[in-house]
């Protein structure tokens, strides 16, 4: 993942100060107490994670903050590295993991202070990377692109510009300087898709905090199925206006070269 070249602006000191302060207040601001945040997270972030499959995998989490994802997936993963710009946030996260997890689970986690745009890991170190509501905190477009370039096979979610009441709230608080958290950019679903494409990744499954329920329609009476299908289609469309949206981006498999690779003259099709 390390690459040369001039570094784009990937942090602002005011935002970093607010992440540092938040890291000392995790006991008072536990996101698990916020029902709407958690339901949005389940619908978007965890739907994407389940789509990829997390069991027994090594995961890189870029932008950790409160370790809500770590606690949720501790039993399932094999190994998990959480990265954040803020040392205090990571200290707070480590204290929570040690307090809430059995030592056998807590030892799966490592916490590393690093910049999303300059990750200190070689390519293909992890089975998957996740980056939830973090690229939206990076100040420049160039740095946001660089962060996704760095991650490879990845689940990325962002706050959605088209969730109009939410976007209006962020805009008002930013203007009045009452927002305690450094949002730098709200995305449209198309925009985050384009960032993945520019990073050479293949956008796959899309998820949003507005989504149809997961029900098995053939099990329902026939009179219910058609109206339900229409309603679910409408909800899928409304997904583009959900508060948090994201994609699974896949890294295209590079064709092998060398002896035994297709086209080298030694390969035979059975």
Ligand X SMILES: C[S@@+](CC[C@H](N)C(=O)[O-])C[C@H]1O[C@@H](n2cnc3c(N)ncnc32)[C@H](O)[C@@H]1O
Min separation Cβ 210 and ligand X, Å? 17
Torsion sign, CA atoms 180, 61, 94, 70: positive
Instruction: Report whether 238 contacts 145 (CB < 8 A).
Output: no
Of 84 and 189, CB closest to ligand X: 84
Query: What does the block give as tokens for 90?
Result: 């990571």
Of 11 and 43, CB closest to ligand X: 11
Query: What does the block give as tokens for 155?
Result: 């689940």
Q: Does 138 bind ligand X (CB under 6 A)?
A: yes
Instruction: Provide DSSP, 16-69.
Output: HHHHHHHHT-TTT--GGG-HHHHHHHIIIIIHHHHHH--TT-EEEEES-SS-HH
For residue 181, the 8-state DSSP code is S
Min separation Cβ 9 and ligand X, Å? 10
Q: Does 94 bind ligand X (CB under 6 A)?
A: no
One of 70, 94, 115, 150 touching ligand X (CB under 6 A): 115
Q: Does 132 bind ligand X (CB under 6 A)?
A: yes
One of 40, 47, 86, 208 touching ligand X (CB under 6 A): 86
Query: Per-residue x/- marks for ligand X, 60-79, CB under 6 A?
Result: ---x-x--------------
Stretch that binds ligand X, among 47-55, 129-137, 187-195, 213-221 (CB under 6 A): 129-137
Query: How far apart are alpha carbons 2 and 197 in whole angstroms?
Result: 20
Q: Does 10 bind ligand X (CB under 6 A)?
A: yes
What are the distances in angstroms from CA 256 to CA 120, 126, 127, 260?
Answer: 26, 20, 19, 9
Min separation Cβ 5 and ligand X, Å? 16
Q: Does 196 bind ligand X (CB under 6 A)?
A: no
Query: How far apart are alpha carbons 105 and 210 in whole angstroms?
Result: 32
Judged by the rule CB under 6 A, the positions of this chain that interact with ligand X are 10-11, 19, 63, 65, 83-86, 89, 115-117, 132-134, 137-138
């Amino acid at each position: 993942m390390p690459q040369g070249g001039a570094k784009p602006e990937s942090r602002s000191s005011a935002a970093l100060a607010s992440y540092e302060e938040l890291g000392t207040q995790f006991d008072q601001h536990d996101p698990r107490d916020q029902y709407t945040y958690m339901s949005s997270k389940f619908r978007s972030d965890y739907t994407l994670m389940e789509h990829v499959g997390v069991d027994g995998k090594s995961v890189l989490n870029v932008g950790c903050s409160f370790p809500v994802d770590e606690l949720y997936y501790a039993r399932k993963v094999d190994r998990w590295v959480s990265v954040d710009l803020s040392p205090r946030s990571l200290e707070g996260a480590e204290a929570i993991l040690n307090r809430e997890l059995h030592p056998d689970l807590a030892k799966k986690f490592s916490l590393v202070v690093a910049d999303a745009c300059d990750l200190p890991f070689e390519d293909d170190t992890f089975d998957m990377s996740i980056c939830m509501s973090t690229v939206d905190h990076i100040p420049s477009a160039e740095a946001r692109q660089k962060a996704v370039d760095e991650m490879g096979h990845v689940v990325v979610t962002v706050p959605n510009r088209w969730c109009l009441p939410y976007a209006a709230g962020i805009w008002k608080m930013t203007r009045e300087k009452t927002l305690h958290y450094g949002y730098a950019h709200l995305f449209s679903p198309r925009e985050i898709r384009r960032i993945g494409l520019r990073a050479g990744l293949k956008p796959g499954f899309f998820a949003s905090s507005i989504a149809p329920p997961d029900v098995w329609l053939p099990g329902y009476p026939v009179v219910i199925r058609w109206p339900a299908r229409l309603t679910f289609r409408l909800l899928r469309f409304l997904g583009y206006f959900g508060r948090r949206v994201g994609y699974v981006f896949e890294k295209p498999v590079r064709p092998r070269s060398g002896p035994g690779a297709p086209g080298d003259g030694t390969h035979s099709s059975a």
